[in-house]
Structure 1
Amino acid sequence: MTGQFTFRSDIYSFGVVLLELITRMKTIDSTKERKDQNLVGWRNFPKMVDPLIQGQYPVRGLYQALAAMCVQEQPNMRHVISDVVLALNFF
């Protein structure tokens, strides 16, 4: 948001890429309604998961890795990458 790159912005970017992989959706999709155009703004992660992998992942892990650790709006709320990797190891 500030245009400055930090370790915390890298965590956010990682979370966005992970979200794109899990959902097979674009980060910004201007073909959707305005409120649904930004993928990161969606919070119903289990319903967003690509149907091809539906049910083949731990829902709690998905929330931890994405919502709680990576894509928090406030940078100081994002975890360091070692915490994210540790959480992903439990998948």
Structure 2
Amino acid sequence: MENNSLETARKNIDRINRELVLLLIERMKEVDQVAAWKKANNQPVHVPAREEAIIEKVRSLAGEEFACEIETVFRAIFAASCAREERKIKHTEELS
């Protein structure tokens, strides 16, 4: 790979990273809404069946070449989302 190609690829990755951050922030705002609903309805934060259904769907969307990496990324997103939900629920309980 030539330096010019490397620089171009890195610039593209930087752009994609910015887009991903914005999408992840948007997702976390929705997670906050889910946490509020779960708190109000006394539902568990972690729902393994839903996570596995999503994993199956995103692996299919990614295709065979990228399925493993996409699964890894989504499992990390789920872990962060569950941790955020738990913090949000705990915070609202402390305020009550």
Task: Establish whether TM, by shorter chain, passes 0.5.
Answer: no
Larger radius of gyration: 2
- What TM-score do the two structures reach when normalised by structure 2? 0.29
Name the TM-score, length of structure 1 as normaliser.
Answer: 0.30
> Which protein has the bigger helix share?
2
